[in-house]
């Protein structure tokens, strides 16, 4: 990008940015003539991806700041008003806003609320930080047409974000996401109102208990065996960490109400946007759970639980026979929860006539094998929990199936339908009950997982990611995906690629016969999948919210009757595939 264009964009931003912190950042960069940094901040504007609007906090159109928040909210408000003309006309539009513990989250949340209020919406703003699943729940509870939660989920502390929701409590999907972007890009003037005026006119209402208490009750109502928990909770211990985020109030409340002893990691209990005890507040990564595991060993806890800053993701570690703790992957916990929900519904006579489980395309197909044996319909959707919510909405509309569980490999689970996003709070409650259920049968969660592997085969899953920052990185990722489409690998990990699934062009084909292409019944998305001989699937997907590309390995080894040998075979296969993927990334 030419220097003049960079300066033009930077100066235009300075004129519009109301927050002196972000405005000063850009002014200082101009004075220093730091065109490399300025280019990175202005070569593009943040757009809605699978998780909404997300970026590094700072001044610039390619950063998270009040300027971008205000424009995004004005565009969203305009789009919602056009989508609901009658409510817009009679002044009955509603919106609800929440935020997590990140730096500037409270500032961005209030800015969002005031833009909605200025556009005539009755706007609800939580009095303090609240988790993403509660925001989803609040939308339908309060009868809102939209909602926003300010969060960057599990990303490092330099990030923040903005998730936009529809009236059903689900994140926006096409055509609404692109429609909102069109409105954002068309914004010329942002309507404003002061907090004092918004409250005085009734356009802004500060809330907490009217949603908190029903949300807690809902989470507890999903359980199958509350009497088992009451009978066995005495002496059971849960070590929990909210990773400096929003989860403590809710997880502690719900589990304590059930009679469980919850020991929260004291150093990580209080909200802190700098996440001082972890490099990344991500329960998917072992270092984030290090302090919790150490405390669990000391307390001899039955399970370790963790939620990310906005408490939609849920991670666990479980005790092994030697006294150590094993971190379960998102797929493994998903398999355990799905298995427990299916067997509980069967045992208690609560299985609906046409039950359905929904998983994303990069989630382990082990779920498919278990569901197939039980005659339960399995639906595969795109990555992003909004697509699971879309499936729930379709089931409700057609009546063809009744949703009983949804999951994604990145530690996202939904055990209820009152929330239309992944929910770490209700997952924690269900996991607690499941742990006590298997304990009552003298089994650990690891014991049950090994039983499932012995029956259905050994499944191992890995993820490899590489960052490609800046404009040049974006081009590199684009070329990499293009090259993989035009010249897909013939083998990965020594296994022949027997099928290529191109989710962008919605076709699948065998590499040996590219002319015979079969249609794929999914929305278009920039994902490639390579199905290997034996059933292992390797997926390539650029992130919609971060400058990185991610490869997912979902391997499977048929049950041989020797689980030790099956595990060894799975490790060897995953190691070999990982080596090939790293070579592809190194050559990008």
Hey, how many other C-beta atoms are within 10 angstroms of the C-beta on 397?
A: 8
Tokens of residue 254, six digits:
């719900």
- CB contact at 8 A, 480 and 588: yes
Beta-sheet pairing, 94-99 with 146-150: parallel
- Distance between CA atoms of residues 264 and 116, nearest Å: 37
- 290's CB contacts (< 8 A; 6+ apart) are none
Q: In the annotation, is 344 catalytic?
A: no
The H or E element spanning position 450 is helix 445-456
| Residue among 409, 406, 378, 362 at smallest CA distance from 531 | 362
Q: CB-hemisphere CA count at 13 Å for 404?
A: 24
Residues in the chain, total? 588
**Where in 507-586 does DSSP place strands (E)?**
507-510, 513-519, 528-532, 537-542, 548-557
- What is the side-by-side order of every strand in the sheet holding 402-408? 377-381, 355-360, 402-408, 412-414
Task: Compute φ and ψ for 2, nearest 5 degrees.
Answer: -65, 150
- 469-474 own/partner pairs: CB under 8 Å, 24+ apart: 469/40, 469/547, 470/39, 470/40, 470/43, 470/547, 471/1, 471/39, 471/40, 471/43, 471/44, 473/547, 474/547
- CB contact at 8 A, 65 and 57: yes
Distances (CA, A) of 45 to 63, 64, 85: 8, 10, 29
- Distance between CA atoms of residues 145 and 134, nearest Å: 16
Which listed residue (45, 101, 136, 153) is catalytic?
Answer: 153
The residues annotated as belonging to the active site are 153
């Amino acid at each position: 990008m030419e220097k003049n264009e960079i300066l033009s964009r930077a100066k235009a931003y300075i004129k519009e940015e109301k927050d002196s912190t972000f405005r000063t950042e850009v002014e200082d960069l101009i004075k220093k003539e730091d065109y490399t940094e300025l280019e990175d901040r202005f070569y593009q504007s943040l757009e809605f991806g699978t998780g909404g609007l997300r970026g590094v906090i700072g001044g610039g159109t390619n950063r998270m700041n009040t300027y971008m928040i205000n424009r995004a909210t004005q565009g969203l408000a305009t789009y919602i008003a056009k989508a609901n003309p009658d409510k817009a006309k009679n002044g009955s539009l509603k919106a609800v806003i929440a935020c997590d513990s990140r730096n500037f989250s409270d500032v961005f949340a209030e800015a969002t609320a005031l833009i909605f209020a200025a556009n005539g919406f009755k706007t609800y703003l939580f009095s303090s930080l609240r988790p993403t699943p509660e925001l989803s729940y609040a939308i339908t509870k309060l009868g809102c047409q939209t909602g926003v939660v300010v969060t960057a989920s599990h990303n490092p502390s330099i990030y923040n974000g903005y998730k936009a929701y529809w009236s059903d409590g689900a994140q926006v999907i096409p055509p609404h996401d692109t429609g909102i972007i069109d409105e954002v890009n068309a914004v010329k003037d942002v309507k404003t109102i002061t907090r004092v005026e918004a409250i005085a006119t009734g356009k802004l209402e500060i809330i907490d208990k009217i949603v908190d208490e029903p949300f807690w009750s809902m989470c507890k109502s999903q359980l199958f065996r509350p009497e088992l928990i009451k009978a066995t909770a005495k002496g059971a211990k849960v070590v929990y960490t909210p990773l400096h985020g929003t989860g403590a109030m809710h997880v502690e409340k719900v589990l304590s109400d059930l009679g469980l002893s919850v020991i929260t990691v004291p150093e990580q209990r209080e909200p802190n946007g700098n996440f001082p005890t972890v490099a990344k507040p991500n329960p998917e990564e072992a270092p984030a759970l290090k302090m919790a595991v150490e405390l669990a060993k000391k307390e001899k806890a039955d399970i370790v639980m963790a939620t990310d800053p906005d408490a939609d993701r849920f991670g666990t570690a479980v005790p092994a026979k030697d006294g150590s703790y094993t971190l379960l992957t998102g797929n493994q916990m998903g398999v355990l929860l799905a298995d427990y929900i299916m067997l509980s519904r069967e045992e208690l006579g609560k299985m609906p006539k046409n039950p359905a489980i929904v998983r994303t395309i990069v989630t382990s197909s082990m779920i498919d094998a278990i569901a197939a044996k039980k005659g339960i319909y399995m639906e595969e959707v795109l990555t992003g929990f909004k697509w699971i919510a879309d499936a729930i909405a379709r089931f409700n509309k057609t009546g063809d199936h009744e949703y009983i569980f949804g999951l994604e490999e990145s530690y996202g689970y939904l055990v209820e339908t009152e929330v239309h996003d992944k929910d770490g709070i209700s997952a924690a409650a269900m996991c607690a009950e499941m742990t006590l259920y298997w304990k009552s049968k003298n089994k650990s969660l690891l014991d049950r997982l090994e039983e499932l592997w012995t029956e259905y085969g050994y499944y191992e899953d890995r993820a490899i990611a590489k960052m490609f920052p800046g404009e040049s990185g974006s081009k590199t990722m684009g070329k990499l995906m293009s090259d993989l489409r035009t010249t897909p690998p013939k083998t990965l990990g020594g296994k022949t690629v027997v099928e290529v699934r191109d989710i962008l062009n919605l076709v699948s084909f065998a590499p040996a016969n590219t002319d015979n292409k079969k249609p794929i019944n999914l929305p278009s998305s920039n994902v490639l999948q390579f199905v290997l001989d034996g059933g292992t699937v390797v997926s390539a997907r650029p992130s919609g919210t971060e400058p990185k590309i991610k490869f997912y390995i979902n391997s499977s080894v048929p049950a041989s009757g020797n689980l030790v040998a099956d595990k060894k075979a799975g490790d060897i296969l995953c190691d070999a595939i990982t080596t090939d993927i790293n070579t592809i990334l190194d050559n990008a």
